[in-house]
């Protein structure tokens, strides 16, 4: 862990970006300058093999902070982001998070933790009474009782089930699974395997790829020998580029169904580069958390990403449709509105308002942006924040899952919508034995 | 403030674990000249065994990880097994890596062992749950009924106690006739064999003892963190401990403790307090570059470290050549 | 079944070509200077990046090869002749020298990481239709990679056997003191060796990324263990030994991944080294007697 810690240290401790300057133009929170800054900590892998997690997060949380500050901050308090690097390793994450808890004043929320370090870090944050908007796919959190845990994201298994349902809709009867042995990819594999089994679709090959090998020719050959009609896959971008490049060159390419994680810029760039743009557009589908129809919430998100493009990691356009980034945006909005509703920046006070400002209910006003929410709350109304990810409805375990959507690549940053798999359909599949 | 108390107590646990690593590597490298560039693998073996022997069988209800040897063993037993696992694996690796060969070959072979072990454990999911690793390892000392903070410090104290005990024992061992024989082997292997020391067996002895300490340190750490995965034991982790020893003083146990305090504890922890410079990850690269520079420069300017190896205390004479090597003579006399 | 075996062997030969280019450079330098040079992986990456930069600025992929070789040569000369020689002058012994190269290797790798912002870049050249050789299908890239490997091996053998400097190199590798006594300008030979092994190292880096189609700061480092294992297996200082060992490792690796668990393929390659160390340590450790560095 040390070396790793060392990296963690680096942490980009990074990213302690203070965004106050950007938002001072707005008038609604006139006393902004005199109030203390509130810290939002991102507990996520910022360096190392899973560094894309940190980019996904920055791509959504930084615009959210920008937009809130621009609207005058939370009751006049500006927000600032502080990155805490987990390197996706619990041994690195633990001291880094404790250091963060010890040295951060006015900490109101944690964005994260991500998969892998979550089982170690969630209890620590819960004990410290800091609300967290986790993007951790472990099904162990489906029924968590930790009051400070919030998840607006389906467990990994749900994504696998949606992939299997899509394959069934398309009439595929021979499926091959090609997954990297890195932890991100392995998280999604059991859901795929169990769902295919539950739906009686034969898995003709299950191939694992050790990342960063110079060649995967033998694995390619094995895959081709199994004659699949479709490949379900997730791996890191480099590995995917090499593997699919070789698969295409040897003439074995069949349609690809990727997990949600494949619908991110590095993966798409690598595989599009290896296959050529036209082949890629023809053969690639990904199942992602369904983006909402174009509501005011989506527009607000897109505007904020565009306005804050200098702060987010490159390329900024990729976050416009990045399902992970949008989730972080919504999480931030829920927490900020909860503070306004509770008239408090004390997490122990506002934590229970998070569900109140998001879930639908009788007599609630639907709001799509932070500014709308603040206005409605000031008028004494109850609100339902309808997010850029669509409807948010936390269950009693503080989980909110939406529908899944099959999307393809258009060549540009905008995805092509191919079809919807509803949360109901996913729940109806009798999947057993997944994490 | 309690958050500080949590943070500092965590650093104390990590420090104790690092001291164990330093002591183990110093015995192997500083005394016997065996360059164990696979150290982290043996620590990891201990961590995995301590984890699976307390997690219980992996087939139970709600189980979501797969691993071997699942059991619910009571506390100190799992820790002892961790040390045994480190020792056993060291014995196995020692079989082919401790033959009499050039030491740079040996270093390279062990470095390769470190990489291959990581690859195998990552890829073979049924072994220790692959790259996702093991989580939910139960905390020991639960029966003490301590407050959260009390638990932190109890564990920190317990770790320091173990580290101190191992430190004392290994230092005594190193100063025994056996320790002298090790140094004789390190400096003059031919001469050591001539007077009847079986150097391959001696190397195996230090390797196994060092492996046991490594396993112990891994067990101690995993039961504190509650999780262990391949991300925690990349081959470069070993280099940090080596750098600490180079900086502190090879062959000198106090120097090792100093080096462990300076490098992993101070040098790697302080940058967390810095504001960000450059792009995310730059400080990370710079830290590694500094580790490499520290490593290289200490080998150039001060190969003996801040606190150099003590001369042979028992006899007051340095170990230099065969003719002037009372340790060799003394050892030979005993045999 | 036979098809699978044939394919696996063919793929093994392709992989072996990449390993062999690097292993030949490694073993020549190791045999002569006696430095087990762990900066080699980092230098491979340097060579790869030189080619990547050239190609991404519009140069043809063919230009990447000499450019990568040049970058590898210069870096290796600077590290070997510039740095390591100073360590030797201060009395660093053969074993400590390996530790020195490990430290320098860390600096090289993480400087690359800092410069590339830890990004992985795509490097796609030579996209064209596969070639059918009976039941075995290979890509043009693979054919080219293998041809480059073979060409380098033949060229190197010719250089060592037919040219004056090559003969001097072999003489000095066998016995530095005797070579010096015979009037061979050993300093020149050492410099030549650094340049030659650096060029091969840089070339290996370029060939590696042509085949894997991407480059990151760890590309060379991840490949280094295979190279070292091949060099040790083949016997230090012997290019033909390195080539044979590379072939063996390449084929074993691919056969295991075709028939068994692909996750164990690389491990199986290293398993060869372990088996040889266990059964015939003398066969691979012939250099054991000589523990002198030859850096000037």
| Closest alpha carbon to B42 in B84, B100, B4, B9 | B84
- pLDDT for B106-157, tens place per residue? 888 899 899 889 888 988 888 888 888 888 888 887 777 788 888 999 999 9
Residues 6+ apart with CB under 8 A from B68: B52, B126, B127, B128
pLDDT for position B1? 56
Count of Cβ atoms closer than 10 Å to residue A310 Cβ: 8
Interface residues of chain B, partner chain C, Cβ below 8 Å: 33, 35, 37, 95-97, 99-105, 107-109, 111-112, 115-116, 119-120, 122-124, 236, 239, 242, 279, 281-282, 284-286, 288-289, 291-293, 295-296, 299-300, 303
Q: Which residues of C touch B109 (CB under 8 A)?
A: 232, 273, 277
User: A150 forms bridges with which residues in the sheet?
Assistant: A133
The DSSP output letter for B312 is: B
Give the pLDDT confidence score for residue C289 in this predicted structure: 46
Terminal CA-to-CA distance of chain C, rounded, Å?
Answer: 54
Prediction pTM value: 0.85
Structure confidence by residue, pLDDT tens digits, A272-314: 888 888 899 999 999 988 777 788 999 999 999 999 999 888 8
**Cα of C242 to nearest chain A Cα, Å:** 19
Q: Do B10 and A98 touch (CB under 8 A)?
A: yes
With a cut of 50, say whether residue A17 has pLDDT above it: no
Give the tens place of pLDDT for each residue, B2-53.
Answer: 888 999 999 999 999 999 999 999 999 999 989 999 999 999 999 999 999 9
Q: pLDDT, tens digit, for every residue of A134-157?
A: 988 877 788 888 999 999 888 888
pLDDT in tens, B266-283: 888 887 777 767 677 788
Distance between first and last Cα of chain A: 25
Instruction: Decide if pLDDT at C262 tops 80.
Output: no
- For residues C202 and C51, what is the distance between their CA atoms, to the nearest angstrom? 9
Confidence grade of residue A18 (pLDDT, cut at 50, 70, 90): very low
Contacts (Cβ under 8 Å, ≥6 apart) of A344: A350
Distance CA A163, CA A179 (A): 14
For A39, the 3-state DSSP assignment is strand
pLDDT at C25: 95
Total count of residues recorded for chain B: 335
Q: How confident is the model at residue A342 (pLDDT cuts 50, 70, 90)?
A: very high
Q: Tell me how far apart the alpha carbons of residues B208 and A196 are, in angstroms, rounded to a whole number.
A: 47
What are the beta bridge partners of residue A205?
A176
**pLDDT higher than 90, residue A341:** yes
| C279 interfaces chain A, CB cutoff of 8 Å | no
Residues β-bridged to residue C81? none
**Neighboring chain B residues of A99 at a CB cutoff of 8 Å:** 7, 269, 272-273
Please check whether residue C101 touches A, CB under 8 A: no
pLDDT of residue B59: 65
Contact B21, B43 (CB under 8 A): yes
Among C90, C274, C287, the residue with its CB nearest the CB of B102 is: C287
- Separation in Å, CA C140 to CA A213, B103, C133, C146: 19, 42, 12, 10
Beta strands in C169-251 (DSSP E): 214-215
Tokens 């034969």 belong to which residue?
A: A202
Q: If you average pLDDT over residues C59-88, what whole number do you get?
A: 92
Q: Are B322 and B191 in contact (CB under 8 A)?
A: yes
The answer, yes or no, to whether residue C266 has pLDDT greater than 90, is: no
Q: What pLDDT score was predicted for residue C60?
A: 82
Contact residues on chain B for A58, CB-CB shorter than 8 A? 280
Higher pLDDT pick, B54 / A186: B54
Closest CA to B195 of B20, B42, B331, B53: B331
Four-residue CA torsion sign, C22, C23, C27, C30: positive
The candidate with the shortest Cα–Cα distance to C103, out of B137, A339, B293, A253, is B293
Residues of C in contact with A222 (CB under 8 A): 4, 257-258, 262
Sign of the CA dihedral running B207, B208, B209, B212: positive
Whether A27 shows a pLDDT value over 60: the answer reads no
By percentage, how much of chain B surpasses pLDDT 70?
Answer: 88
Q: What is the mean pLDDT of residues B160-177?
A: 95
CB distance B103–C95 less than 8 Å? yes
For residue range A243-260, list pLDDT tens digits in order: 998 898 888 999 999 998
Which of the given ranges, A110-124, A264-278, B316-330, C196-210, has the highest pLDDT on average? C196-210
Q: List, as one string, the DSSP characters of B126-146.
A: HHH-GGG-EE-PPPSSGGG--
Contact A267, A237 (CB under 8 A): yes
* Chain C nearest-CA residue for A237: C120
Chain A residues with CB inside 8 Å of C109's CB? none
User: In the structure encoding, which two tokens stand for residue A167, read together?
Assistant: 């394959």
Relative to beta strand A175-180, strand A203-209 is parallel
- The average pLDDT across A91-108 equals 90
Model confidence at C155, in pLDDT bands (50, 70, 90)?
very high
Q: Are B22 and B70 in contact (CB under 8 A)?
A: no
Question: Which tokens is A282 given?
Answer: 């023809």
CB A323 within 8 A of CB A289: yes
- Alpha carbons within 13 angstroms on the beta-carbon side of residue A294 total 6
Alpha-carbon span B244 to A200, nearest angstrom:
56
Structure token digits, residue A222: 């094995």
Is residue C9 scored above 50 in pLDDT? yes
Nearest to C217 by CA among C43, C24, C4, C5: C43
Please state the domain extents for chain B.
Answer: 2-334
Which value does ipTM take for this structure? 0.87
List the structure tokens of A389.
């990810």
Average pLDDT over residues A191-213: 88
Whether the ω angle into residue A399 lies within 30 degrees of 0, i.e. cis, is no
Set of chain B residues whose Cβ sits within 8 Å of the Cβ of C277? 96-97, 99, 101, 109
C128 pLDDT tier (thresholds 50, 70, 90): low
pLDDT (mean) for C138-153: 89
φ, ψ (nearest 5 deg) of residue C38: -85, 5
- Band (pLDDT 50/70/90 cuts) for residue B310 is low
What is the pLDDT confidence band of residue A434, given thresholds at 50, 70 and 90?
A: low
In 3D space, the residue among B284, C46, C123 whose CA is nearest the CA of residue A54 turns out to be: B284
**Using one digit for the tens of pLDDT, what is the confidence trace for A353-385?**
999 999 999 999 999 999 999 999 999 999 999
Q: Any CB–CB contact under 8 A between A6 and chain C?
A: no
Stated length of chain C:
296
How many Å is the maximal CA-CA distance in chain C?
59
> Has residue B334 got a pLDDT over 70?
no
Decide: A179 and A185 in contact? Cβ < 8 Å.
Answer: yes
pLDDT at A15: 36
In this prediction, residue A29 carries a pLDDT of 41
C-alpha angle C71-C76-C78 in degrees, rounded to nearest 5? 100
CB contact under 8 A, A102 and B7: yes
Inter-chain CB proximity B285 and C110 less than 8 Å: yes
Choose among A346, A344, A386, A349: nearest CA to A365.
Answer: A386
Contact C263/A213, CB-based, under 8 Å?
no
Range C123-150 average pLDDT: 79
Q: Sorting pLDDT into bands at 50, 70 and 90, what band is A19? A: very low
Instruction: Name the residue in chain C with its Cα closest to that of B114.
Output: C225
Cα B130 from Cα A186, distance rounded (Å) = 8
Please report the number of interchain residue pairs, chain A to chain C, with beta-carbon separation below 8 angstroms.
91
At residue B314, does pLDDT exceed 50? no
Which residue segments constitute the domains of chain A, with CATH numbers given?
Answer: 2-155+295-385 (3.40.50.2300), 157-291+403-428 (3.40.50.2300)
Closest residue in B to C279 (Cα–Cα) = B96
Over 70: is that where the pLDDT of A189 sits? yes
Q: What pLDDT shows up at residue A25? A: 38
| DSSP per position, B2-14 | HHHHHHHHHHHHH
Q: Which residues in chain A are contacts of B284 at CB distance < 8 A?
A: 6-7, 9-12, 47, 85
Close Cβ partners of A171 (under 8 Å, ≥ 6 residues apart): none
Nearest CA-CA partner of C183 in C194, C172, C191: C172
Asked whether the beta carbons of C23 and C242 are under 8 A apart, the reply is yes
Q: Do C79 and C42 contact (CB within 8 A), yes or no?
A: no
B212 or C9, higher pLDDT: B212
| Residue C1 near residue A211 (C-beta atoms within 8 A) | no
Instruction: Give the Cα separation of B212 and B237 in Å (integer).
Output: 18
Structure tokens of C241? Answer: 């030994």
Select the residue from C40, C91, C103, C116 to test the B interface by mutation, using most B Cβ atoms within 10 A.
C103
Q: Report how far residue B245's alpha carbon sits from residue B239's, in angstroms, rounded to the nearest whole number.
A: 10
pLDDT for residue B237 is more than 60: yes
Instruction: State pLDDT tens for residues A44-73.
Output: 988 877 788 899 999 999 999 999 999 999
Collapsed DSSP state (helix, strand, coil) of residue A352 = coil
Tokens 């951790």 — which residue?
A136
Q: What is the rounded distance in angstroms from the CA atom of residue C18 to the CA atom of residue C22?
A: 7
Instruction: Could you please state the CATH topology (level 3) that the domain comprising B2-334 is classified under.
Output: ABC transporter involved in vitamin B12 uptake, BtuC (1.10.3470)
Specify the pLDDT at position A435.
53
Q: What is the DSSP string of A358-419?
A: HS--TTPEEE-SHHHHHHHHHTT--EEE-BTTB-----TTSB----EEEEEE-SSSSEEEEE
């Amino acid at each position: 862990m040390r070396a790793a810690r060392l990296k963690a240290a680096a942490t980009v401790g990074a990213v302690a970006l203070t965004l106050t300057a950007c938002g001072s133009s707005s008038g609604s929170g006139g006393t902004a300058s005199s109030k203390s800054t509130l810290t939002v900590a991102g507990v996520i892998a910022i360096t190392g093999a899973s560094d894309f997690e940190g980019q996904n997060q920055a791509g959504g949380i930084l615009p959210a902070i920008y937009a809130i500050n621009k609207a005058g901050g939370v009751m006049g308090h500006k927000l600032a982001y502080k990155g805490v690097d987990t390197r996706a390793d619990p041994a690195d994450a633990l001291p880094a998070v404790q250091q963060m808890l010890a040295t951060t004043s006015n900490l109101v929320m944690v964005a994260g933790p991500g998969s892998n370090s979550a089982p170690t870090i969630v209890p620590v944050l819960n004990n410290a009474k800091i609300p967290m908007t986790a993007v951790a796919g472990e099904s162990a959190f489906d029924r968590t009782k930790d009051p400070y845990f919030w998840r607006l994201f389906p467990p990994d298994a749900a994504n696998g089930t949606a992939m299997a349902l899509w394959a069934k809709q398309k009439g595929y009867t021979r499926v091959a699974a090609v997954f990297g042995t890195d932890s991100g990819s392995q998280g999604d594999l059991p859901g795929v395997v169990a769902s295919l089994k539950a739906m009686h679709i034969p898995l003709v090959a299950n191939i694992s790829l050790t990342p960063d090998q110079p060649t995967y020719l033998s694995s390619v050959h094995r895959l081709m020998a199994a004659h699949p009609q479709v490949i379900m896959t997730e791996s890191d971008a480099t590995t995917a580029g090499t593997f699919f490049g070789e698969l295409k060159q040897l003439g074995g390419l069949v349609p690809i169904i990727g997990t949600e994680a494949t619908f991110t810029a590095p993966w798409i760039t690598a595989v599009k580069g290896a296959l050529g743009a036209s082949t890629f557009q023809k053969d690639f589908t990904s199942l992602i958390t369904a983006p909402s129809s174009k509501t005011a919430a989506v527009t607000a998100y897109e505007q904020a990403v565009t306005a804050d493009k200098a702060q987010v990691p490159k390329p900024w356009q990729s976050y416009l449709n990045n399902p992970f980034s949008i989730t972080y945006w919504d999480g931030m909005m829920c927490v900020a509105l909860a503070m306004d509703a509770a008239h408090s920046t004390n997490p122990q006070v506002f934590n229970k308002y998070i569900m109140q400002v998001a879930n639908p209910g009788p007599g609630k006003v639907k709001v799509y942006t932070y500014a709308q929410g603040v206005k409605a709350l000031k008028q004494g109304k109850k609100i339902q924040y309808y997010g850029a990810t669509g409807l948010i409805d936390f269950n009693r375990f503080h989980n909110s899952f939406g529908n899944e959507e099959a999307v393809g690549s258009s060549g540009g940053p905008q995805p092509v919508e191919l079809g919807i798999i509803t949360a109901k359909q996913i729940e109806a599949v009798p999947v057993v034995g997944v994490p | 403030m309690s958050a500080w108390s949590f943070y500092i107590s965590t650093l104390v646990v990590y420090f104790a674990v690092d001291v164990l690593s330093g002591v183990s590597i110093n015995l192997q490298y500083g005394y016997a000249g065996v360059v164990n560039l696979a150290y982290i693998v043996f620590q990891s073996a201990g961590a995995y065994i301590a984890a699976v022997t307390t997690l219980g069988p992996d087939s139970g209800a709600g189980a979501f990880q797969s691993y071997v040897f699942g059991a619910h063993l009571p506390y100190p037993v799992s820790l002892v097994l961790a040390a045994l696992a480190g020792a056993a694996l060291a014995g196995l690796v020692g079989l082919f890596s401790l033959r009499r060969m050039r030491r740079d070959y040996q270093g390279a072979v062990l470095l390769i062992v470190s990489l291959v072990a990581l690859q195998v454990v990552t890829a073979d999911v049924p072994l220790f749950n692959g790259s996702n690793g093991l989580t939910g390892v139960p905390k020991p000392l639960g029966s003490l009924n301590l407050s959260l903070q009390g638990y932190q410090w109890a564990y920190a104290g317990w770790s320091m106690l173990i580290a101190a005990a191992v430190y004392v024992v290994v230092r005594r061992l190193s100063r025994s006739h056996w320790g002298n024989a090790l140094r004789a082997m390190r400096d003059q292997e031919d001469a050591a064999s001539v007077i009847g020391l079986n150097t391959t067996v001696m190397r195996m002895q230090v390797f196994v003892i060092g492996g046991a300490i490594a396993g112990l340190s891994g067990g101690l750490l995993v039961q504190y963190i509650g999780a262990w995965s391949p991300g925690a034991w990349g081959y470069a982790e070993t280099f940090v401990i080596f750098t600490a020893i180079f900086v502190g003083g090879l062959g000198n146990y106090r120097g090792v403790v100093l080096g462990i305090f300076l490098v992993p504890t101070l040098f790697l922890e302080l940058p967390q307090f810095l504001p960000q410079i450059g792009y995310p990850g730059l400080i990370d690269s710079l830290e590694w570059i500094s580790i490499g520079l520290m490593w290289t420069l200490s080998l150039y300017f001060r190969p003996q470290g801040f606190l150099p190896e003590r001369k042979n205390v028992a006899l007051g004479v340095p170990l230099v050549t065969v003719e002037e090597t009372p340790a060799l003579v003394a050892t030979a006399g005993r045999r | 079944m036979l098809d699978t075996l044939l394919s696996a062997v063919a793929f093994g030969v392709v992989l072996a070509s990449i390993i062999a280019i690097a292993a030949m450079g490694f073993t020549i330098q190791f045999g002569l200077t006696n430095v087990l040079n762990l900066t080699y992986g980092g230098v491979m990456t340097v060579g790869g990046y030189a080619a990547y930069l050239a190609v991404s600025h519009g140069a043809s992929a063919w230009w990447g090869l000499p450019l990568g070789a040049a970058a590898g040569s210069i870096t290796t000369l600077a590290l070997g002749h510039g740095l390591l020689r100073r360590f030797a002058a201060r009395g660093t012994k053969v074993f400590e020298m390996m530790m020195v190269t490990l430290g320098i290797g860390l600096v090289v790798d993480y400087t690359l990481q800092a410069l590339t912002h830890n990004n992985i870049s795509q490097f796609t050249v030579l996209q064209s239709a596969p070639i059918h050789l009976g039941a075995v299908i290979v890509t043009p890239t693979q054919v080219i990679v293998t041809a480059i490997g073979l060409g380098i091996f033949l060229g190197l053998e010719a250089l060592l056997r037919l040219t004056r400097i090559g003969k001097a190199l072999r003489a000095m590798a066998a016995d530095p003191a005797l070579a010096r006594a015979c009037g061979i300008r050993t300093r020149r030979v050492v410099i030549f060796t650094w340049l030659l092994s650096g060029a091969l190292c840089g070339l290996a880096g370029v060939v590696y990324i042509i085949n894997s189609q991407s480059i990151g700061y760890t590309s060379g480092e991840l490949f280094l263990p295979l190279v070292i294992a091949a060099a040790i297996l083949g016997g230090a200082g012997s290019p033909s030994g390195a080539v044979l060992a590379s072939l063996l490792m390449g084929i074993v690796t691919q056969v295991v991944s075709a028939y068994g668990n692909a996750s164990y393929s690389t491990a199986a390659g290293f398993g060869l080294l372990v088996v040889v160390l266990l059964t015939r340590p003398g066969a691979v450790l012939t250099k054991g007697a000589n523990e002198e560095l030859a850096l000037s």
